Amino acid sequence: MRWLLVVLAACNGVTGDPGYGSELAIPGAQFRPGPFPSPTGGPATQSFVSTHAAVVIGDVHERVHAVLDPAAHAAIIGLAGVDGAWIVVAGPPDIDTPGQPSATAIIGLDPATEPGPFTLLLAATDGDGRIGAAAALPLVADAEPPPDGDLVVGLVWDSRADLDLHVVDPVGGEAYSGDPNTWKAPPPGTPTDPNEFLGGGWLDHDGNAACHRDGAPSEHVIWTTRTGSNGPVAPIIPAGTYTVRVDTRSLCGDAGAAWYVEVYAHGALVAAARGVSTGEDVITGTHRAGAGVTALTFTQP
Amino acid sequence: MQADAVVWSQHSYDEVDPGTGDPLNETGLVLRRGFLRAEAHRDAFDAELELDGNTVKGPAARIVTAHVGWGYPDRGEKLVKVDAGLLLIPFGAQVPTNARYRAFVEQPTFLRALFPGDADAGANASGSYGLVRWSVAAMNGTPVADAQWKGRDPVSSYDLMGRVGTDIPLPHRGRFVGGISAVTGTGLHAGTPPTKDQIQWIDENQDGIVQTTELQVIPGRPGQPSQTFHRDALDLDVAAHWCLLGLGHGVVQFEGAIAKNLDRGVVYADPIARSRDVRELGFSLGVVQDFGPYALAGVRYDRYDADRDASETQGVTTVYVHEVFETFAIMAAARFTTARLIVEYDHNTNPFGRDDTGMPTTQRADRVTIRGQVEF
């Protein structure tokens, strides 16, 4: 009986698991196994922000910050739909939010994390253990930081497959590996700026081209300021709806290819989508302008 | 020779610490202590040298004790005994007891905190007269396992300690042993060297590019001299021994200490850094009973509050926290002549975890240890 009591007593307390196997890592915080807790009437979270919209997989680098209700003593941070969260003790108020505790953490994602959008949750807790409603922060797990640019559309995948990113702007210009610029030349005879073509969205490279595998295959169409013969050329980003398609040229021997698409405008995440390419996509595709399946559409003002 | 096998540790993982690269596995076989002991006696003089080879943190060899002594009278119970060198610290009842005579695998937490490593360099005078036992010692004040100074004494003054006790024979081969110990000494808070003005870059937006708003000037600071601080402790130890027909010897033992700024092993006490005294309180209570000539068993509970005034700020609230360590140990042992096989289960409670409210709480650290011990 005594042994039974001791064994039961050993179940008390929190885990000593350092949480290294967890998809989310927060150094210095207490790992909390199990699903993210449901609210039980605890303090609310006033704001929850990160420095970037994307978290580079494998880096423990991204700072997240929350402002909590005055009754908060700690915060629980975790990934939506993923077991394992972290307990962070609340810190002093920020200068601009006196009387309201803050919670700050440096987060990272396990190297095995799949690229793509995810949701970070934060719930404040009070001294009686009541848990507040979780605040959600949409983020994107990136294999690499997105390139700089005013408007960046990215396609990232992890296989040998040769995929192509197609981006169609609101005026019909389409950038893909066969025509890497959305800018369309005006009809012959129309006076034009010889550097105007630099203002279009440019494909940065052809990932896994002809099944020659890149280390971490990706493609981006980028609108950014470029330098022409007469100086800097500002990007021309037409207002309206953009269409992003993924064309599967070849699976290069793989059974399929999981991919995700992300769109950043001035560093902020605008849209993201995830999908899988199959052999059917290879057969049915023309692999020219207009080819591929639509991954997402988004609108620019 | 003692070889320990931690056959199960709740805090063991097949992983390495990413910061240090040290393995997090705590389940394994280690040579806990391999003693080599030499003693010499001639007339009133004696000398002792005890060496220890172990693999607790990789292969290592160390001196456990090395001292010379003089006693009067030459034979029998000493009225006066003087020893100098590296000694087991003569404070309380359990610290000066050599590890090979202890029933439990580890010392209680409060003694590991106050006197880490059990040994220190100094001089000790002790003796007995009738029922009275006494000792007075001057020690460096930095035990060999001191977490900061590693046995090197940073202050010129000595820690003074003493114990007054009694050893009273009782009927039926029983005994009552008790004593009060005290220690007073000086610790050192290490100073800091002066610094020059520096520019610090904090990549606020984490873009890897230096922006002028991310540059801060850190003004230089004059050096801070080291400061000494006072520390002391008071200890009470009581033990009652008995002998039961058919079972054998048994003992119940209590030892408790109240201390100030004396933790040098578990939660280092630095009152200068904390801007207040750090008050510690710990005790242990254990029972060990022989079961015939070949077996014994025991239980022990020990509790240590490393900082009775600990508090922290959680959000906008200052809360008191408890830096309390508790261990409930169950031990069973088999012995044959000088050989012992000990199995011990330790249920540990510590303040290293955090619960959902952010308060310190137990991080699982229970373990089962098997010790094989042979003395030649």
Segment A224-258, tens digit of pLDDT: 998 888 888 899 999 999 999 999 999 888 888 88
Looking at residue A13, its pLDDT comes to: 59
In chain A, the percentage of residues whose pLDDT exceeds 90 is 45
| Minimal CA separation from A8 to chain B, in Å | 10
Task: Map tokens 């995830």 to a residue.
Answer: A274
E strand or H helix at B111, and its extent? helix B109-114
Looking at residue B316, its pLDDT comes to: 83
How confident is the prediction for chain A on average, in pLDDT? 87
| pLDDT band with cut points at 50, 70 and 90 for residue B11 | confident
pLDDT in tens, A249-299: 998 888 888 898 989 998 888 888 888 988 888 876 677 888 889 999 999
Using a CB-CB cut-off of 8 Å, the residues of chain B touching A127 are 314, 317, 319, 357, 359
Whether chain B has a CB inside 8 Å of the CB on A17: the answer is yes
* Residue B230, both tokens: 């006072």
What DSSP letter does each residue of chain A carry, written as one string? -HHHHHHHHTT-SB-----TTSSEE-TTSEEE-SSPPPP-S---EEEEEES-SEEETT-EEEEEEEEE-TTEEEEEEEETT-S-EEEEE-BPPPTTSTT--EEEEEEEE-TTPPSEEEEEEEEEEETT--BPPPEEEEEEEESSPPPP-SEEEEEEE-SS-EEEEEEE-TTS-EEBTTB-B---PPPTT----TTGGGGS-EE---TTGGG---SS-EEEEEE--EEETTEEE-----SEEEEEEEEEEE-TT-S-EEEEEEEEETTEEEEEEEEEE-HHHHHH---STT-SEEEEEEEE-
Q: Cβ of A73 and B206 within 8 Å?
A: no
Sign of the torsion angle spanned by Cα atoms A223, A227, A232, A233: negative
Q: Mean pLDDT lowest for which of B72-81, B180-189, B207-216?
A: B207-216
Residue type, A204: D
Whether A76 and A87 have beta carbons less than 8 Å apart is answered as: yes
Whether B3 and B371 have beta carbons less than 8 Å apart is answered as: yes
Is residue A91 predicted with pLDDT exceeding 70?
Answer: yes
CA–CA distance, A45 with A122 (Å, rounded to integer):
8
Task: Say whether B222 sits in a helix, a strand or coil.
Answer: coil
Q: Is B22 exposed, middle or buried (0-12, 13-18, 19+ CB in 10 A)?
A: exposed
Mean pLDDT of A99-125: 90
pLDDT in tens, B132-147: 999 999 999 999 999 9
Burial per residue of B353-374, b for 16 or more beta-carbon CB atoms within 10 angstroms, e otherwise: bbbbbbbbbbbbbbbbbbbebe
Whether A293 and A245 have beta carbons less than 8 Å apart is answered as: yes
Query: Residues 82 to 121 of A: which have CB under 8 A from any B CB?
Result: 87-93, 99-102
Query: Residues, chain A, total?
Result: 301
Using a CB-CB cut-off of 8 Å, the residues of chain A touching B355 are 14, 30, 87, 129
CA–CA distance, B121 with B91 (Å, rounded to integer):
13
| Residue among A52, A68, A76 whose CB faces B315 most closely | A68
Query: Residues 24 to 63 of A: which have CB under 8 A from any B CB?
Result: 29-30, 32, 37, 51-52, 61-63
* β-pairing verdict for A30-32 and A45-50: unpaired
pLDDT in tens, B331-356: 999 999 889 999 999 998 888 888 88
Nearest to B357 by CA among A211, A79, A72: A72
Q: Cβ of A129 and B10 within 8 Å?
A: no
* Residue B70, both tokens: 């003089």
Q: Cβ of B13 and A13 within 8 Å?
A: no
Is residue A43 predicted with pLDDT exceeding 90?
Answer: yes
CA distances from B16 to A18, A271, B20, B25, B164 (A): 10, 38, 8, 8, 48
Burial per residue of A235-245, b for 16 or more beta-carbon CB atoms within 10 angstroms, e otherwise: bbbbeeebbbb
* β-pairing verdict for A135-142 and A54-56: parallel
- For A215: left if phi > 0, alpha if psi spans -120 to 50, otherwise beta; the answer is alpha
Is residue A71 predicted with pLDDT exceeding 80?
Answer: yes
Q: Cβ of A101 and B328 within 8 Å?
A: no
| Residue among A16, A18, A127 whose CB faces B317 most closely | A127
pLDDT in tens, B51-100: 988 887 788 898 889 999 999 998 888 999 999 999 999 999 999 998 88
Q: Cβ of A74 and B204 within 8 Å?
A: no
Q: Cα torsion at B107, B113, B115, B119 (round to 10°)?
A: 70
Looking at residue A285, its pLDDT comes to: 64
Mean pLDDT of A207-221: 86
Looking at residue A5, its pLDDT comes to: 42
Whether A33 and A13 have beta carbons less than 8 Å apart is answered as: no
| pLDDT band with cut points at 50, 70 and 90 for residue A10 | very low
Per-state percent for chain B, helix, strand, coil, to nearest 5: 5, 55, 40
Nearest to A122 by CA among A263, A26, A16, A28: A26
Q: How many angstroms from the chain centroid is the CA of residue A161? A: 21
| Residue among A10, A37, A73 whose CB faces B314 most closely | A73
Q: Cβ of A73 and B18 within 8 Å?
A: no
CA–CA distance, A222 with A153 (Å, rounded to integer):
6
End-to-end, the C-alpha distance of chain B in Å comes to: 8
Q: Cβ of B315 and A99 within 8 Å?
A: no
Which position has the higher pLDDT, A35 or A7? A35
CA–CA distance, B207 with A56 (Å, rounded to integer):
12
Burial per residue of A3-14, b for 16 or more beta-carbon CB atoms within 10 angstroms, e otherwise: eeeeeeebeebb
Looking at residue B120, its pLDDT comes to: 95
Query: Residues, chain B, total?
Result: 376
**Dihedral pair phi/psi, residue B101, rounded to 5°:** -100, -5
Contacts of A286 (CB under 8 A, 6+ apart): none
Using a CB-CB cut-off of 8 Å, the residues of chain A touching B311 are none
Whether A130 and A124 have beta carbons less than 8 Å apart is answered as: no
Query: Residue B9's closest chain A neighbor by CA?
Result: A16
| pLDDT band with cut points at 50, 70 and 90 for residue A87 | very high
Looking at residue B205, its pLDDT comes to: 67
| Minimal CA separation from A76 to chain B, in Å | 7
Q: Cβ of B353 and A14 within 8 Å?
A: yes
Q: Give yes or no for a cis peptide into B73 (omega within 30° of 0).
A: yes
How confident is the prediction for chain B on average, in pLDDT? 89
Q: Cβ of B364 and A14 within 8 Å?
A: yes
What is the pTM for the complete model shown?
A: 0.74
Nearest to B359 by CA among A237, A74, A70, A196: A74
pLDDT in tens, A170-211: 999 999 998 999 988 888 877 778 788 889 999 998 999 888
Contacts of A77 (CB under 8 A, 6+ apart): A24, A26, A29, A64, A85, A86, A88, A103, A105, A107, A120, A121, A122
Query: Residue A148's closest chain B neighbor by CA?
Result: B207
**Residues facing A269 on adjacent strands:** A264
| pLDDT band with cut points at 50, 70 and 90 for residue B19 | low
| Residue among B313, B330, B362 whose CB faces A12 most closely | B362
Query: Residue B362's closest chain A neighbor by CA?
Result: A13
Choose the mutation target among B314, B325, B361 for the interface with A, i.e. most A CBs under 10 Å: B314
| Minimal CA separation from B213 to chain A, in Å | 16
CA–CA distance, A204 with A146 (Å, rounded to integer):
12
Nearest to A237 by CA among A173, A148, A291, A166: A173
Is residue B23 predicted with pLDDT exceeding 80?
Answer: no
In chain B, the percentage of residues whose pLDDT exceeds 70 is 98
Which position has the higher pLDDT, B36 or A103? A103
Using a CB-CB cut-off of 8 Å, the residues of chain B touching A20 are 13, 15, 18
Looking at residue A11, its pLDDT comes to: 46
Using a CB-CB cut-off of 8 Å, the residues of chain B touching A70 are 315-316
| Residue among A51, A101, A129 whose CB faces B356 most closely | A129
pLDDT in tens, A139-159: 888 877 778 889 999 998 878
CA distances from A36 to A41, A129, A132, B18 (A): 15, 14, 12, 25
CA–CA distance, B369 with B11 (Å, rounded to integer):
13
Whether A244 and A165 have beta carbons less than 8 Å apart is answered as: yes
| pLDDT band with cut points at 50, 70 and 90 for residue B20 | low
Which position has the higher pLDDT, A80 or B200? A80
Task: Map tokens 């022990």 to a residue.
Answer: B300
Q: Cβ of B353 and A13 within 8 Å?
A: yes
Q: Cα torsion at A288, A292, A296, A300 (round to 10°)?
A: 0
- For A181: left if phi > 0, alpha if psi spans -120 to 50, otherwise beta; the answer is beta
